[in-house]
Amino acid sequence: MTEQSDVKLTYAELVGLLEAIFLRHGVSGDAARVLAANCAACERDGSFSHGIFRMPGYVSTLNSGWVDGQALPLVEDCAPSFVRVDAKGGFAQPALEAARPLVLDKVKQNGIAVLAIRRSHHFSALWPDVEPFAEQGLVALSFVNSMACVVPQGGKKALFGTNPVAFATPRKGRPPFVFDQASSAIAHGDVQIAAREGHALKPGQGVDRDGQPTTDPKAVLDGGALLPFGGHKGSSIALMVEILAAALTGGHFSWEFDWSAHEGAQTPFTGQLFIIIDPERGGNASFEARVSQLCDMVLEAGQDRLPGDRRHAIRAVAEKDGIPLKGETYARLKQFAEG
Amino acid sequence: MTEQSDVKLTYAELVGLLEAIFLRHGVSGDAARVLAANCAACERDGSFSHGIFRMPGYVSTLNSGWVDGQALPLVEDCAPSFVRVDAKGGFAQPALEAARPLVLDKVKQNGIAVLAIRRSHHFSALWPDVEPFAEQGLVALSFVNSMACVVPQGGKKALFGTNPVAFATPRKGRPPFVFDQASSAIAHGDVQIAAREGHALKPGQGVDRDGQPTTDPKAVLDGGALLPFGGHKGSSIALMVEILAAALTGGHFSWEFDWSAHEGAQTPFTGQLFIIIDPERGGNASFEARVSQLCDMVLEAGQDRLPGDRRHAIRAVAEKDGIPLKGETYARLKQFAEG
């Protein structure tokens, strides 16, 4: 095998390459476009644990027959402010896209709406799901459960997924403020990266298969589990995410789905909830300016940066210079697309 | 002063006594009833940092003229799923009561509603605000900001309030699951109790006036500050609470109000947001049973108890045997009511 040169791709080029991979592995045109844009955005913004690092997992999952790349999400108009989607075993992001116009209508009409997605696979970061709402002037919250890999506080058995919560809000004069944080002390993708690169975890992030504290990422991945962030408070947030993303939507809990018949499957088959608010319907015209003022004050108080600042800085460089990929990574992606 | 015997009061007796205190200090009949029931419920359930421990603070605040006990909340019907309330410088709980019928109508009609309260004083726990919604079969989230006493992660200057988040959901066959947790590493009321009783704080809960870590509750209260729970993740939650409870409602941020002209004032003058969901409108009939199943699984996984379990156990004893008060505390309350 000849040595590959490193490359820099535009966002559109990377989306095109990833879209070809999804199409090549049985994903419908609509879903392939959504998933490729999502994954490329993570890579562009430096969310590397959810960028092209995930592509082998997508491919292996699709090859296993665990996820239905051709699923047509069924959007149900349940109530004036309540939309429900059966993703029918497909990915969550195309289900969101299918529901978006109806959800936006409801939010604009009524001031708030809930979107409950079930029977969906979510394998990416959560911030790409909420940021576009904030770019349209809306406040968005989202909750997604995943696969049992986090022990409840004081417990021995993994039950919760990493169960992230994402929040996005518009700000006056700058990009939306967005955070996306796992309810675990560390994201599962970061444990995978640590294992691959041979880094130790920090104390308090994981336990081994016997429930004993460990800093070895391989021990966590090999039958061990993650700990919630912030002790019992983080554990309660993880539990709330199970309630909102699975019980309320009608999706699976993080420990319920059984992929044992699908070797190579990696995507959690659960549910996802969105709460979207239109601040303008509350009659408070100064909202976006007030959020900007608040963010200024947090930086003045000495916090070194806000969530999302690093992403936007990396994005700015990528938009100017291109998205850097290692040569062997680029070659592997092309192989996935064409091979 | 003669020695006082300890007493046990029924919930109704304690409500009556506290109601008399609020009335005696200039609170309207409607508001006095609401505040007394709220404070008595905290004491009954063992939420001691927000029970009768707070009464001297209520009295001193009312005497200072900082809060308007006679305020008539103005309820605005902003949109089909959006209710806004101007509490007009009164307490938050009577504002919630004033809006409750309209909010419940909207939730039942549309599946979700938002209630945004501004210019309100909140001086109690947050769980009593959300639990009644869950008793009616609804899922409730609430966010309230308070007074600057928490430094952003990595920052030096107190900016956030303790900024609790409360969550309540119905469960099949048992009382609602409810949690109410400060975004700070410890509740401000618990710091006050530690200072009064001479207990040290745990490491990582507070800093002194120079921003240095301390376990002395008096150093925290004397110009120091609390730390967020769970590092930067808790800090982001505290920031989200400022955005939702203050920026979105049109209330004050935790550092904005100026009570210097009101000696003895203790109540933060901010805002509060509620998000209320009717799970039945989502067409998922098994919701309450699924939440019960999930709670069973958490206990089976080894967590020793769920949030709210301790409260319900203490409540059961209080309902059987009465709510215990120390003799001198009871005498002081009677003095507040009659003196």
Pick the most confident of B121-130, B184-193, B195-204: B121-130
Q: Are residues A90 and A195 in the same domain?
A: no
Q: Are residues A329 and A208 in the same domain?
A: no
pLDDT band for position B2 (50/70/90)? Answer: low
Give the list of residues 6+ apart from residue B332 with CB closer than 8 angstroms, or none.
Answer: B56
Q: Are residues B170 and B143 in the same domain?
A: yes
| Total number of domains constituting chain B | 3
Catalytic residue flag (residue A50): yes
Chains A and B: how many Cβ contacts under 8 Å? 222
Q: Are strands A82-86 and A112-121 parallel, antiparallel or unpaired?
A: parallel
Which pLDDT value is given to residue B158? 94
Asked if the Cβ–Cβ distance from A235 to B303 is below 8 Å, we say yes
Nearest to B76 among A275, A283, A297 (CB): A283
Q: Is the pLDDT of residue B228 over 90?
A: yes
Say if A109 is an interface residue toward chain B (CB within 8 Å). yes
Say if A252 is an interface residue toward chain B (CB within 8 Å). no
How far is it, in rounded angstroms, from Cα B39 to Cα B36? 5
Asked if the Cβ–Cβ distance from A80 to B286 is below 8 Å, we say no
Say if A310 is an interface residue toward chain B (CB within 8 Å). no
Q: Are residues B203 and B274 in the same domain?
A: no
Which pLDDT value is given to residue A203? 87
Catalytic residues of B: 49-50, 190
Considering the candidates A25, A45, A47, A50, report the single residue annotated as catalytic. A50
Considering the candidates A45, A86, A190, A278, report the single residue annotated as catalytic. A190
Last residue of a domain, one of B172, B203, B225: B225
pLDDT band for position B190 (50/70/90)? Answer: confident
Task: Please choose, from the candidates A54, A123, A45, A125, the residue with its C-alpha nearest in 3D space to the C-alpha of residue A324.
Answer: A45
CATH assignment at residue A216: 3.30.60.50
- Per-residue pLDDT of A290-306, as tens digits, reads 999 999 999 999 888 99
pLDDT band for position B212 (50/70/90)? Answer: confident
pLDDT band for position B322 (50/70/90)? Answer: very high
Q: Are residues B153 and B257 in the same domain?
A: yes
Q: Are residues B298 and B253 in the same domain?
A: yes
Chain B residue with CA closest to A303: the answer is B155
Q: Are residues A104 and A45 in the same domain?
A: no
Q: Are residues B217 and B291 in the same domain?
A: no
Q: Is the pLDDT of residue B288 over 60?
A: yes
Nearest to A277 among B80, B114, B236 (CB): B114
Give the list of residues 6+ apart from residue A337 with CB closer than 8 angstroms, or none.
Answer: A17, A20, A21, A24
Q: Is the pLDDT of residue B291 over 60?
A: yes
Q: How far is A26 from chain B (nearest CA, A)?
A: 31
Each residue's pLDDT expressed in tens, for chain A with a length of 339 residues: 456 799 999 999 999 999 999 999 999 999 999 999 999 999 999 999 899 999 999 999 999 999 999 999 999 999 999 999 999 999 999 999 999 999 999 999 999 999 999 999 999 999 999 999 999 999 999 999 999 999 998 888 999 999 999 999 999 999 999 999 999 999 887 898 899 999 999 988 999 988 888 999 999 999 999 999 999 999 999 999 999 999 999 999 999 999 999 999 999 999 999 999 999 998 889 999 999 999 999 999 988 899 999 999 999 999 999 999 999 999 999 999 996
HSE (CB half, 13 Å, CA atoms) of B132? 14
Angle at A74 between CA A73 and CA A79, to 5 degrees: 135
How far is it, in rounded angstroms, from Cα B210 to Cα A21? 56
How far is it, in rounded angstroms, from Cα B55 to Cα A76? 50
Asked if the Cβ–Cβ distance from B302 to A113 is below 8 Å, we say no
- Per-residue pLDDT of B97-141, as tens digits, reads 999 999 999 999 999 999 999 999 999 999 999 999 999 999 999
Domain extent at residue B42: 1-64+308-339
Last residue of a domain, one of A173, A200, A224: A224
Q: Are residues A195 and A115 in the same domain?
A: no
Which pLDDT value is given to residue A130? 98
CATH assignment at residue B38: 1.10.1530.10
How far is it, in rounded angstroms, from Cα B53 to Cα B47? 10
Which pLDDT value is given to residue A154? 84
Which position has the token pair 């006493």?
Answer: B149
ipTM > 0.90 for the complex: yes
Q: Are residues B246 and B291 in the same domain?
A: yes
Say if B297 is an interface residue toward chain A (CB within 8 Å). yes
- By the 8 A CB rule, do B81 and A81 touch? yes
Catalytic residue flag (residue A222): no
Which pLDDT value is given to residue A3? 67
Last residue of a domain, one of B174, B204, B225: B225
Nearest to A181 among B233, B278, B284 (CB): B233
Q: Residues for chain A: how many in total?
A: 339
Encoding tokens for residue B2? 């003669």
Q: Are residues A203 and A215 in the same domain?
A: yes
How far is it, in rounded angstroms, from Cα B267 to Cα B58? 8
Beta bridge partners of A169: A177
Say if B235 is an interface residue toward chain A (CB within 8 Å). yes
Range of weakest confidence among A207-221, B48-62, B225-239: A207-221
Task: Please choose, from the candidates A313, A308, A325, the residue with its C-alpha nearest in 3D space to the C-alpha of residue A11.
Answer: A325
Which pLDDT value is given to residue B49? 86
Asked if the Cβ–Cβ distance from B284 to A139 is below 8 Å, we say no
Beta bridge partners of B174: B171
Chain B residue with CA closest to A160: the answer is B298
Q: Are residues B270 and B151 in the same domain?
A: yes
Handedness of CA B310, B315, B321, B324 (dihedral sign): positive
CATH assignment at residue B299: 3.30.1370.60
Asked if the Cβ–Cβ distance from B157 to A300 is below 8 Å, we say yes
Say if B236 is an interface residue toward chain A (CB within 8 Å). yes
User: Which of B:30-59 have CB within 8 Å of A?
Assistant: none
Q: Is the pLDDT of residue B216 over 80?
A: yes
Q: Is the pLDDT of residue B1 over 60?
A: no
